[in-house]
Amino acid sequence: MTDERLVSLAKEAMERAYAPYSNFKVGAALLTSDGFYFTGCNVENASYGATNCAERTAMFKAVSEGFTHFSKIAIVSSSGTFTPPCGICRQVMTEFFDRDGYVILNDDMLGIKTIPMQDIFPYPFDETGLK
Ligand code: THU
């Protein structure tokens, strides 16, 4: 699946965002290492801290369907500009992404930018930290 197609799927998912508090809609589309895709949107809550980001929605959907290896994720937002993932989502990504995995950001004017996972989250806490 091309990066462009994944961005387009993320844009479709963004339309389903539940964001009545921030009015900031986010969409994500994730490709698993074996070629399946999952989408997600942000899901807000009147108790703001209960909000789930679009990226984690997509990742948790995939994991709950039995997919735990991911190769890339596209993220878009209603800002129309590059929207990098929050720190919590980066931590969740590091659990499941391949070493050569990457994040795809989109700006409606500038186009697509890709960032290797190792650059976007260089010092993750992972299972080696639990030993
Ligand atoms: N949000 C995401 O869905 N992903 C991000 O990477 C950044 C933030 C959502 C959470 C909240 O619903 C809204 O954007 C404003 O923070």
pLDDT tens, per residue, the chain with 131 residues: 999 999 999 999 999 999 999 999 999 999 999 999 999 999 999 999 999 999 999 999 999 999 999 999 999 999 999 999 999 999 999 999 999 999 999 999 999 999 999 999 999 998 888 98
Task: Retrieve residue 71's tokens.
Answer: 């190769």
Rounded to whole angstroms, how far apart are CA atoms 58 and 30? 6
Q: How far is the CA of 54 from the centre of ligand 1 (A)?
A: 7
Q: What is the pLDDT of residue 129?
A: 87
Ligand 1 atom nearest the C-alpha of 85 is 6
Q: Which residue has a Cα nearest atom 13 of ligand 1?
A: 24
6-9: long-range contacts, CB 8 A cutoff, minimum separation 24: 6/31, 6/37, 6/72, 6/73, 6/74, 6/104, 7/74, 7/76, 7/104, 7/106, 7/112, 9/37, 9/39, 9/74
86 touches ligand 1 (CB under 6 Å): yes
Rounded to whole angstroms, how far apart are CA atoms 68 and 11? 23
Q: What is the pTM of this model?
A: 0.97
